[in-house]
Structure 1
């Protein structure tokens, strides 16, 4: 198959449900391939799947994020483009410096008992809902509420607001998909961004009157004291993007990881009480079933990228999910091995835009999975999982299980 056939295959339903054979076909063509000029991927001039090449581009700050056309006319794009995740230096550097201070070892250490408390509460609820072998939705009852409740407490969102919040996150995530740029999805994403901006503006005003111990209170205090280089609009944009990124990745870490782990019962049985194995399982799930599959970067100048000519200003698609299964870097890359040696997963990116929420997500997975299997050693899938169908954020949105109780 050539690149055109492979990319077209990824856009079909079969490719969305299982993209890995298509990624293997791209690997067979080499670490990077020139992309044909077709309407559905006309903005991409090359597709990179080699681990070393993807890693190198992500670490090079000269490869920019790029600016989507017409961004200033759309609320959702204005939100993205005023956040650190979607901007380049110097604005990215300035904003990231503010939020980096929030993810200190002390704050992460303080999150551990919060995560344990949330996980145990949800496991109790799963035991009640799944009593007598009743089917439950693992995503709705565990994978989603674990990171949502943890991040809500960390950031400072009322728990009662989370169902309303989730719908708006879903609308934005639908638009972020590679194939999601339809007028209907854009309209929903714009509506979601506008509503979330108004929500955070009210929350910030409330924290000014009654500050707490949460992230919003700390940032608002620093903002008002002129201790940080950040506007209130930038604060709101970054809170929206940070909250979304920090919990959606954990939702898919847990939901994508469960079928993978249940296929290895010896590993599941050994997980409780083995922290090193828990860490290895989290890393291997992130490598094999990473939530974010694609990133894009803009070439800073005319360059030879692994033998492919890329002109300055052209976009290169970096398929990190394929790079995580590069046979040149991972022995038997399709085999689950939580004790494998090798380079780290690229699931959270690397370089200037490395995901700030990575440490939180890893901590949640490391604490949640052993407690899950200690409580429910006979947990089983009762229906075949179906992935969301997104080509960008790939995950299982509904996962029906039995606790064996």
Structure 2
């Protein structure tokens, strides 16, 4: 597992995942966590109600960060729905799900398609795919959905990058940058929440803070700020990486790129296959909420479990010839969006963006190719490109 943290391991973790899955699919790591790499066990863990999100307070205290509640980066992350367990998670998920609906996502389809066409034209002379399409597209879409003014959206990229870097690199320098970023995010979003309370508009943030459901509840100000930070960050960072990873996979497999470009019937399966083949989220964690058993191994309350989603998505017991990219594949969903009560709320939105962006890009620029050396994001939890130069 140590090899996965090295540059060559981060560049292509899949051969190492395969070796681990074949020789030690369920193994105790040096830190005591139970590591799982097969699809069946990872799927079971994600759907097991006796397993939940870890309480990071003990972890932060052990690092000498007993004041973590005063650190915006840690407070925002730890108080978000992402790391909550029932009943708090149930309440937050219910309040956001009733407004973040499939109908609201589908209502964006025409505007997303028009935006894609504009961004695709912007690549007529080549350039950085991340800068010209993979970043501005999901930022514009989640910004439109939430109600963030267009002029303010580009400024979120460095803030979200600095904040989420602590998911991969946790040291004092990274934490300092993350705190600065989270402070700026919370200040901006706090002002926007206050504005939407005073003058609601037709956007998701207004709905979250002004439209009570049958229970009469809305998110309070603190919850709304944290939820907006989570939705904005998750809404573009992982989708940016998904678009970049997907494009590279297609350019490395011209026959599959041709299918995506020329056959509308494969668009839906292609998006799912690209999500499986090189997921932007590679790892997720759970903790035992009570004594239990996982994959035949006794697990005590408080023990951690680590699911390597990238390994599970290449499990030959689930997917035929899993290291082969096949955009017509229809063998069930990958675990890239998680599972159970924490299944990614924005999965339909991410799929929509991939289904619209990559076929239109390849149709407009059929001779698109990589041009130069891409720059990968550091770390293993989130996998993607910071820059991806292409030529047409």
Q: Aligned-pair distance for 1:185?
A: 0.7
Query: Which residues of structure 2 form unaligned runs of 5+?
Result: 61-67
1:145 lines up with 2:147 in the alignment: no
Q: What SS does the aligned partner of 1:126 have?
A: coil
Q: Aligned-pair distance for 1:314?
A: 0.9
Q: Distance in 2 between matches of 1:30 and 1:46?
A: 11
1:55 lines up with 2:43 in the alignment: yes
Q: Distance in 1 between matches of 2:82 and 2:92?
A: 9
Change (3 A) 1:106 1:302: closer
Q: TM-score w.r.t. structure 1 length?
A: 0.90
Q: Give 1:107's match in structure 2, choosing from 92, 104, 109.
A: 104
Q: What SS does the aligned partner of 1:285 have?
A: helix
* Preserved contact between residue 127 and residue 391 of structure 2 (Cα < 8 Å): yes
Q: Distance in 1 between matches of 2:212 and 2:296?
A: 47
Q: Give 1:348's match in structure 2, choosing from 325, 333, 337.
A: 337
Q: Aligned-pair distance for 1:273?
A: 5.6
Q: Distance in 2 between matches of 1:18 and 1:173?
A: 22
Query: Which residues of structure 1 form unaligned runs of 5+?
Result: 1-6, 37-41
Q: Distance in 2 between matches of 1:305 and 1:192?
A: 38
Q: What SS does the aligned partner of 1:271 have?
A: helix
Q: Aligned-pair distance for 1:291?
A: 0.4
Name whichever of 73-82 and 151-160 sits farther off: 73-82
Per the alignment, residue 23 of structure 1 pairs with 17
Matches within 5 A, 1:243-254: 243-254=232-243
Aligned residues: 383
Per the alignment, residue 3 of structure 1 pairs with none
Q: What SS does the aligned partner of 2:345 have?
A: coil
1:165 lines up with 2:162 in the alignment: no
Q: Distance in 2 between matches of 1:113 and 1:342?
A: 30
Matches within 5 A, 1:227-238: 227-238=216-227
Change (3 A) 1:117 1:223: same
* Preserved contact between residue 33 and residue 46 of structure 1 (Cα < 8 Å): yes
Per the alignment, residue 317 of structure 1 pairs with 306
Q: Distance in 1 between matches of 2:214 and 2:259?
A: 51
1:124 lines up with 2:121 in the alignment: yes
Q: Aligned-pair distance for 1:226?
A: 8.5
CA RMSD of aligned residues (A): 1.8
Q: What SS does the aligned partner of 1:295 have?
A: strand
Q: Distance in 1 between matches of 2:267 and 2:213?
A: 42
Q: Aligned-pair distance for 1:223?
A: 6.2
1:76 lines up with 2:64 in the alignment: no
Q: Aligned-pair distance for 1:298?
A: 0.4
Matches within 5 A, 1:184-333: 184-222=173-211, 227-272=216-261, 274-333=263-322
Q: Aligned-pair distance for 1:166?
A: 1.0
**Runs of 4+ displaced beyond 4 Å:** 223-226
Q: Distance in 2 between matches of 1:167 and 1:105?
A: 29
Q: Aligned-pair distance for 1:49?
A: 0.6
Q: Distance in 2 between matches of 1:223 and 1:67?
A: 30
* Preserved contact between residue 30 and residue 50 of structure 1 (Cα < 8 Å): no
Q: TM-score w.r.t. structure 2 length?
A: 0.93
Cα-to-partner distance string for 1:208-245 (whole Å, 9 max, x where unaligned): 34322111122222269993253210111011011111
Q: Distance in 1 between matches of 2:170 and 2:33?
A: 19
Per the alignment, residue 94 of structure 2 pairs with 97
